[in-house]
A and B are shown apart, each in its own frame.
Chain A
Amino acid sequence: MASDTQGAENAGGGLEFHPMDQFIIQPLFGGDVVHWYTPTNVTLWMALSILAIFALLVLGTSRRAIVPSRSQSIGELAYGFVYKMVEDVAGKDGLKYFPYIMTLFMFIVTANFLGLIPTAFTTTSHFAVTGVMALMVFFFVTILGFVKNGSAFLGLFWVSSAPLALRPILAIIELISYFVRPVSHSIRLGGNMMAGHAVIKVFAGFAGLAVISPLSVVAITAMYGLEVLVCFIQAYVFTILTCVYLKDALHPSH
């Protein structure tokens, strides 16, 4: 307790930046050790994501109205958005995997937006979360590609439209880019979420100086607006890349 008051005095005294503190994972019910099963703030905010999705897509559509209410409209909009994306990018045969992609999209988009609530914890700002999702997509798509096409899936790396002499070089480049996919896929989402929240925290830190504080408030507002966009766009990008990878697995020829 003594150190707590001391910390508060320090914060009042001068500029203190802890932009990364918001990402620290703490057990919900006290204790210091984070076991794999410990309920933490990760658990809490993921559960809130589930609740939000349940409220939107299950409670919101519970009336099954022909003329939709507002919440049902949003649910149908989300459904149509992802459905059309899968159909357009991955093709008709990709629609079989629509529920998986919808799961990813709904989780990312709700986690992103819940993270925008002040003092909230953003689960998608952690590479462990985005990395696992990207790896799931990577392995799913790779295995699916081999199951569906057999060794013809390797044609993905053999650019038959290029001159013969270039093909081995292109094959190496394609192979590298293929294995870099999960890295870029996960860091793009996690990095965006983390950076945005950290920048807001830094601006908030500047508010400790009375002279700068109005500017700080304006900057936070502007960043928040940008973050609202980023939250949706990054969920969209993650989902559409998943669709592109799925298309590669279903139709590996260039």
Chain B
Amino acid sequence: MATETQDVAGQASEAASAPGMPQLDFSTFGNQIFWLLVTLVVIYFILSRIALPRIANVLAERQGTITNDIAAADELKAKAAEAEQAYEKALADARAEAQRIVAEAKAEIQADLDEATRHADAEIAAKAAESEKAIEEIRASALENVRTVAKDTAQEIVAVFGTKKADAKTIEAAVETRMKG
């Protein structure tokens, strides 16, 4: 019992010496402030001398690397676009060349064809003219034959019907007139 009361008394005295809130125990303020200032100064020197410049360097370096990489990527992209353009151009050129060759061949063939056609036409025309001439000749000779036959026949007929001798000249004239008519 005695120790208990003594203990309670001890606790009470302890409570009295340290008021309800240790935060308001001004006897420790000097100690806290001293150590706080020491701490802050140490942290400040660690940060400003070592940590912050180092981190700033790392960040700047990283930023530089990223910028460089992006620039390199852009360059490669431009190169790729250029290559694609060149490829497209080559393709278009080849296509145009092919078309030109096709057109040329077509024109050549057309020219040959035209030449042959013209040649054939001329030949046909010549042949036709020749045939016509022959026909004309045949027709002329036929007419002559008809005239001779008509004269002869007319003379004979006149000789049979008439007593007087038929005048050859008159008959000829009459046949001519008839043939014209």
C-alpha gap A36/B50 in the complex (Å) = 30
Known A34-B31, A42-B31; contact A57-B46, beta-carbon cutoff 8 A: yes
Residues of A within 8 A of B37 (CB): 132
Contact A100 B44 (CB under 8 A): yes
**Chain B binding surface, main DSSP class:** helix
Closest CB in chain B relative to A193 CB, distance in Å: 10
Contact A40 B35 (CB under 8 A): yes
C-alpha gap A90/B46 in the complex (Å) = 24
Residues of A within 8 A of B10 (CB): 3
Contact A24 B18 (CB under 8 A): yes
Contact B46 A20 (CB under 8 A): no
CB of B109 closer than 8 Å to a CB of A: no
Residues A133-161 near B (CB distance < 8 A): 133
When C-beta atoms are compared, the residue in chain B nearest to A36 turns out to be: B30
The one of A37, A50, A123 that contacts B34, using a Cβ cutoff of 8 Å: A37
Contact B65 A66 (CB under 8 A): yes
Residues of B within 8 A of A47 (CB): 39
The one of A2, A66, A107 that contacts B43, using a Cβ cutoff of 8 Å: A107
**Chain A binding surface, main DSSP class:** helix
C-alpha gap A99/B56 in the complex (Å) = 12
Residues of A within 8 A of B6 (CB): 3
Contact with B along A32-56 (1 / 0, CB 8 A): 0011111010110011011001100
Contact B35 A76 (CB under 8 A): no
Write 13 A-B pairs (CB below 8 A) sorted by A numbering.
A2-B7, A7-B11, A34-B27, A34-B31, A57-B46, A57-B50, A61-B51, A76-B59, A106-B47, A126-B23, A128-B33, A129-B33, A190-B23
Q: Identify the A interface with B (CB < 8 A).
A: 2-3, 6-7, 20, 23-25, 34-38, 40, 42-43, 46-47, 49-50, 53-54, 57-58, 61, 64-66, 68, 72, 75-76, 79-80, 98-100, 102-104, 106-107, 123, 125-129, 132-133, 190, 194
Task: Apart from A23-B21, A25-B22, A57-B46, list 8 A-B contacts with CB within 8 A.
Answer: A3-B6, A25-B32, A34-B27, A35-B30, A36-B34, A42-B32, A99-B47, A125-B23
